[in-house]
Protein backbone atom coordinates (compact mmCIF):
# COMPACT_ATOMS: atom_id res chain seq x y z
CA UNK A 1 0.00 0.00 0.00
CA UNK A 2 1.29 3.47 -0.91
CA UNK A 3 2.01 6.14 1.63
CA UNK A 4 -0.97 8.26 2.65
CA UNK A 5 -0.68 11.87 1.43
CA UNK A 6 -0.05 14.62 3.94
CA UNK A 7 -3.01 16.85 4.77
CA UNK A 8 -2.93 19.60 7.39
CA UNK A 9 -5.41 22.40 8.05
CA UNK A 10 -4.26 25.60 9.75
CA UNK A 11 -6.61 28.14 11.33
CA UNK A 12 -5.25 31.69 11.45
CA UNK A 13 -6.60 32.87 14.77
CA UNK A 14 -6.77 36.61 14.04
CA UNK A 15 -8.70 36.40 10.77
CA UNK A 16 -10.41 32.99 10.95
CA UNK A 17 -8.82 32.06 7.61
CA UNK A 18 -7.99 28.42 6.88
CA UNK A 19 -4.85 27.39 5.02
CA UNK A 20 -4.01 23.88 3.88
CA UNK A 21 -0.80 21.91 3.47
CA UNK A 22 -0.99 18.95 1.08
CA UNK A 23 1.83 16.72 0.00
CA UNK A 24 2.76 13.58 -1.81
CA UNK A 25 4.36 11.72 1.09
CA UNK A 26 6.40 9.52 -1.27
CA UNK A 27 8.15 12.36 -3.10
CA UNK A 28 7.85 15.09 -0.44
CA UNK A 29 6.36 17.57 -2.91
CA UNK A 30 3.99 19.92 -1.09
CA UNK A 31 1.41 22.57 -1.90
CA UNK A 32 0.11 25.31 0.38
CA UNK A 33 -3.40 26.57 -0.33
CA UNK A 34 -4.16 30.11 0.86
CA UNK A 35 -1.22 30.59 3.24
CA UNK A 36 -1.45 33.51 5.68
CA UNK A 37 1.62 35.67 6.27
CA UNK A 38 1.46 35.44 10.06
CA UNK A 39 1.46 31.64 10.00
CA UNK A 40 4.37 31.16 7.59
CA UNK A 41 6.65 29.94 10.43
CA UNK A 42 4.06 27.25 11.27
CA UNK A 43 4.01 26.05 7.67
CA UNK A 44 7.80 25.89 7.56
CA UNK A 45 7.83 23.86 10.77
CA UNK A 46 5.19 21.44 9.46
CA UNK A 47 7.12 21.01 6.21
CA UNK A 48 10.37 20.42 8.10
CA UNK A 49 8.74 17.86 10.40
CA UNK A 50 7.33 15.96 7.43
CA UNK A 51 10.45 16.39 5.28
CA UNK A 52 8.54 18.20 2.57
CA UNK A 53 9.65 20.58 -0.15
CA UNK A 54 7.27 23.34 -1.16
CA UNK A 55 6.48 22.83 -4.81
CA UNK A 56 3.68 25.34 -5.30
CA UNK A 57 1.66 28.02 -3.53
CA UNK A 58 -1.97 28.13 -4.62
CA UNK A 59 -4.41 30.95 -3.95
CA UNK A 60 -8.20 30.60 -4.18
CA UNK A 61 -8.65 34.36 -4.63
CA UNK A 62 -7.48 37.86 -3.79
CA UNK A 63 -8.13 38.04 -0.05
CA UNK A 64 -9.41 41.22 1.54
CA UNK A 65 -9.35 40.26 5.22
CA UNK A 66 -5.79 39.11 5.90
CA UNK A 67 -2.33 39.31 4.39
CA UNK A 68 -1.32 36.39 2.19
CA UNK A 69 1.91 34.50 2.82
CA UNK A 70 2.32 33.59 -0.85
CA UNK A 71 5.09 36.03 -1.73
CA UNK A 72 7.20 35.36 1.35
CA UNK A 73 6.94 31.61 0.73
CA UNK A 74 7.82 32.08 -2.93
CA UNK A 75 10.88 34.17 -2.08
CA UNK A 76 11.93 31.77 0.67
CA UNK A 77 11.54 28.51 -1.25
CA UNK A 78 11.37 29.36 -4.96
CA UNK A 79 7.93 27.72 -5.20
CA UNK A 80 5.84 29.43 -7.90
CA UNK A 81 2.48 30.98 -7.08
CA UNK A 82 -0.60 29.76 -8.96
CA UNK A 83 -3.94 31.58 -8.97
CA UNK A 84 -6.96 32.15 -11.17
CA UNK A 85 -6.27 34.16 -14.31
CA UNK A 86 -8.80 36.80 -13.22
CA UNK A 87 -7.75 36.89 -9.58
CA UNK A 88 -5.82 40.15 -9.80
CA UNK A 89 -2.83 38.49 -8.12
CA UNK A 90 -0.16 40.16 -10.22
CA UNK A 91 2.80 38.18 -8.94
CA UNK A 92 1.37 34.74 -9.78
CA UNK A 93 3.73 32.89 -12.09
CA UNK A 94 0.96 30.54 -13.24
CA UNK A 95 -2.47 31.87 -14.11
CA UNK A 96 -5.10 29.16 -14.10
CA UNK A 97 -8.22 28.71 -16.17
CA UNK A 98 -11.18 26.53 -15.24
CA UNK A 99 -10.30 22.86 -15.50
CA UNK A 100 -6.52 23.24 -15.43
CA UNK A 101 -4.45 20.84 -13.37
CA UNK A 102 -1.72 21.69 -10.87
CA UNK A 103 0.63 18.75 -10.37
CA UNK A 104 2.82 18.15 -7.33
CA UNK A 105 4.73 14.87 -7.07
CA UNK A 106 2.27 12.20 -8.08
CA UNK A 107 -0.68 14.29 -6.89
CA UNK A 108 -2.79 16.85 -8.69
CA UNK A 109 -5.30 19.59 -7.97
CA UNK A 110 -7.99 20.50 -10.46
CA UNK A 111 -8.99 24.16 -10.71
CA UNK A 112 -12.73 24.83 -10.76
CA UNK A 113 -13.73 28.35 -11.74
CA UNK A 114 -16.13 29.62 -9.05
CA UNK A 115 -16.47 33.39 -9.55
CA UNK A 116 -18.92 35.51 -7.59
CA UNK A 117 -17.30 36.30 -4.24
CA UNK A 118 -14.60 37.87 -6.42
CA UNK A 119 -14.33 37.71 -10.22
CA UNK A 120 -11.29 35.43 -10.10
CA UNK A 121 -12.25 32.88 -7.42
CA UNK A 122 -11.03 29.33 -8.00
CA UNK A 123 -11.89 26.23 -6.03
CA UNK A 124 -9.55 23.24 -6.15
CA UNK A 125 -10.52 19.59 -6.17
CA UNK A 126 -8.01 17.19 -4.69
CA UNK A 127 -8.78 13.50 -4.20
CA UNK A 128 -11.94 13.31 -2.04
CA UNK A 129 -12.09 16.99 -1.06
CA UNK A 130 -12.55 20.45 -2.48
CA UNK A 131 -10.95 23.68 -1.28
CA UNK A 132 -13.68 26.24 -1.73
CA UNK A 133 -12.02 29.47 -0.61
CA UNK A 134 -14.73 31.93 0.39
CA UNK A 135 -17.21 30.64 -2.19
CA UNK A 136 -18.73 27.87 -0.07
CA UNK A 137 -18.37 27.97 3.69
CA UNK A 138 -19.70 25.52 6.27
CA UNK A 139 -23.35 26.50 6.58
CA UNK A 140 -22.75 29.69 4.63
CA UNK A 141 -21.09 31.32 1.68
CA UNK A 142 -18.82 34.27 1.10
CA UNK A 143 -20.38 37.61 0.41
CA UNK A 144 -20.52 39.07 -3.07
CA UNK A 145 -19.64 42.40 -1.59
CA UNK A 146 -15.87 42.62 -2.37
CA UNK A 147 -14.93 44.64 -5.48
CA UNK A 148 -16.13 42.80 -8.59
CA UNK A 149 -18.37 40.49 -6.56
CA UNK A 150 -21.58 39.30 -8.20
CA UNK A 151 -24.31 37.42 -6.28
CA UNK A 152 -25.82 35.82 -9.40
CA UNK A 153 -22.47 34.40 -10.45
CA UNK A 154 -21.81 33.30 -6.87
CA UNK A 155 -25.12 31.38 -6.86
CA UNK A 156 -24.26 29.78 -10.21
CA UNK A 157 -20.80 28.76 -8.97
CA UNK A 158 -22.26 27.27 -5.80
CA UNK A 159 -25.08 25.38 -7.47
CA UNK A 160 -23.57 24.41 -10.83
CA UNK A 161 -19.93 23.87 -9.95
CA UNK A 162 -19.78 22.83 -6.29
CA UNK A 163 -23.15 21.25 -5.44
CA UNK A 164 -22.77 19.08 -8.55
CA UNK A 165 -19.78 17.30 -6.99
CA UNK A 166 -20.51 13.92 -5.36
CA UNK A 167 -22.28 14.18 -1.99
CA UNK A 168 -19.37 12.63 -0.10
CA UNK A 169 -16.85 15.21 -1.36
CA UNK A 170 -15.39 16.93 1.69
CA UNK A 171 -15.72 20.72 1.81
CA UNK A 172 -12.59 22.46 3.07
CA UNK A 173 -13.50 26.15 3.25
CA UNK A 174 -11.21 29.16 3.25
CA UNK A 175 -12.80 30.72 6.27
CA UNK A 176 -14.21 29.51 9.58
CA UNK A 177 -17.89 30.16 10.26
CA UNK A 178 -18.12 28.37 13.60
CA UNK A 179 -16.31 25.62 15.41
CA UNK A 180 -16.48 23.06 12.61
CA UNK A 181 -13.57 22.62 10.26
CA UNK A 182 -14.89 20.38 7.52
CA UNK A 183 -18.22 19.54 5.91
CA UNK A 184 -19.35 17.68 2.79
CA UNK A 185 -21.26 18.57 -0.35
CA UNK A 186 -24.29 16.44 0.57
CA UNK A 187 -24.64 18.23 3.89
CA UNK A 188 -24.29 21.68 2.36
CA UNK A 189 -26.88 20.87 -0.30
CA UNK A 190 -29.47 20.03 2.37
CA UNK A 191 -28.54 22.22 5.32
CA UNK A 192 -26.74 25.31 4.04
CA UNK A 193 -29.21 28.13 4.74
CA UNK A 194 -27.78 30.23 1.90
CA UNK A 195 -28.73 27.54 -0.60
CA UNK A 196 -31.29 25.03 0.62
CA UNK A 197 -34.62 25.74 -1.05
CA UNK A 198 -33.40 29.10 -2.39
CA UNK A 199 -34.05 30.24 -5.92
CA UNK A 200 -31.45 32.29 -7.75
CA UNK A 201 -33.56 35.42 -7.35
CA UNK A 202 -34.02 34.83 -3.63
CA UNK A 203 -30.29 34.31 -3.21
CA UNK A 204 -29.54 37.55 -5.03
CA UNK A 205 -32.16 39.48 -3.04
CA UNK A 206 -30.74 38.17 0.25
CA UNK A 207 -27.21 39.10 -0.82
CA UNK A 208 -28.27 42.60 -1.83
CA UNK A 209 -30.12 43.14 1.46
CA UNK A 210 -27.17 42.02 3.60
CA UNK A 211 -25.42 44.81 5.48
CA UNK A 212 -22.26 45.95 3.73
CA UNK A 213 -19.46 45.53 6.19
CA UNK A 214 -15.98 45.73 4.69
CA UNK A 215 -13.20 43.97 6.61
CA UNK A 216 -10.78 46.21 8.46
CA UNK A 217 -7.98 47.50 6.24
CA UNK A 218 -9.60 46.03 3.13
CA UNK A 219 -7.88 48.43 0.75
CA UNK A 220 -4.46 47.66 2.17
CA UNK A 221 -5.14 43.92 2.02
CA UNK A 222 -6.25 44.11 -1.61
CA UNK A 223 -3.23 46.18 -2.60
CA UNK A 224 -0.76 44.01 -0.73
CA UNK A 225 -2.31 40.70 -1.76
CA UNK A 226 -2.20 41.66 -5.44
CA UNK A 227 1.53 41.27 -4.75
CA UNK A 228 1.03 37.97 -2.95
CA UNK A 229 1.20 39.64 0.45
CA UNK A 230 4.65 41.11 -0.17
CA UNK A 231 5.36 42.98 3.09
CA UNK A 232 7.20 45.67 1.15
CA UNK A 233 3.91 46.23 -0.64
CA UNK A 234 2.21 46.75 2.70
CA UNK A 235 4.89 49.28 3.47
CA UNK A 236 4.23 51.00 0.15
CA UNK A 237 0.49 50.99 0.91
CA UNK A 238 1.03 53.10 3.99
CA UNK A 239 1.96 50.81 6.86
CA UNK A 240 5.21 51.40 8.62
CA UNK A 241 7.89 48.93 7.57
CA UNK A 242 7.87 47.47 11.10
CA UNK A 243 4.09 46.90 11.01
CA UNK A 244 4.28 45.49 7.50
CA UNK A 245 6.76 42.82 8.55
CA UNK A 246 5.43 42.31 12.08
CA UNK A 247 3.25 39.34 11.18
CA UNK A 248 6.09 37.50 9.54
CA UNK A 249 8.83 37.89 12.12
Q: Give the interface with Fe ion as residue ranges (CB under 5 A).
A: 134
Of the CA atoms within 13 Å of residue 249, those in its CB half-sphere come to 7
Q: In this complex, which beta carbon is closest to Fe ion, that of residue 107 or of residue 134?
A: 134
Cβ-based nearer residue to Fe ion, 56 or 63: 63
Q: Which is nearer to Fe ion, 55 or 134 (CB)?
A: 134
Pairing mode, if any, of strands 81-84 and 53-58?
parallel
CB of 174 to Fe ion, least distance (A): 7
Q: Around Cβ 41, how many Cβ atoms within 10 Å?
A: 11
Q: How far is the CB of 52 from Fe ion (least distance, A)?
A: 27
- The minimum distance between CB 117 and Fe ion, in angstroms, equals 6
Q: Using the minimum distance from each CB to Fe ion, give the nearer residue, 63 or 74.
A: 63
Cβ-based nearer residue to Fe ion, 46 or 224: 224
Kindly list the distances between the CA atom of residue 128 and the CA atoms of 7, 84, 190, 242, in Å, as whole numbers in the listed order: 12, 22, 19, 42
Helix-strand-coil percent breakdown of the chain, rounded to 5? 30, 25, 45
User: Least distance (Å) from Fe ion to the CB of residue 153?
Assistant: 15
How many other CB atoms are there within 10 angstroms of residue 181's CB atom?
Answer: 12
Distance CA 228, CA 247 (A): 14
Alpha helices in the chain (DSSP H): 40-49, 70-77, 151-156, 185-191, 200-209, 218-225, 231-236, 241-246
Amino acid sequence: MGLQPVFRQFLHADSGAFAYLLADAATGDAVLVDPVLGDVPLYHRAMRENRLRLDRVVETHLHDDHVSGAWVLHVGTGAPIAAGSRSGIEVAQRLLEDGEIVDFGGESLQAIGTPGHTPGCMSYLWRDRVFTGDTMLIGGCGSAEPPGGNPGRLFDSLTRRLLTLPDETLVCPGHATGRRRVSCIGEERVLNPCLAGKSRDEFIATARAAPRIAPAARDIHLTVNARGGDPEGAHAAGQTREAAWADYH
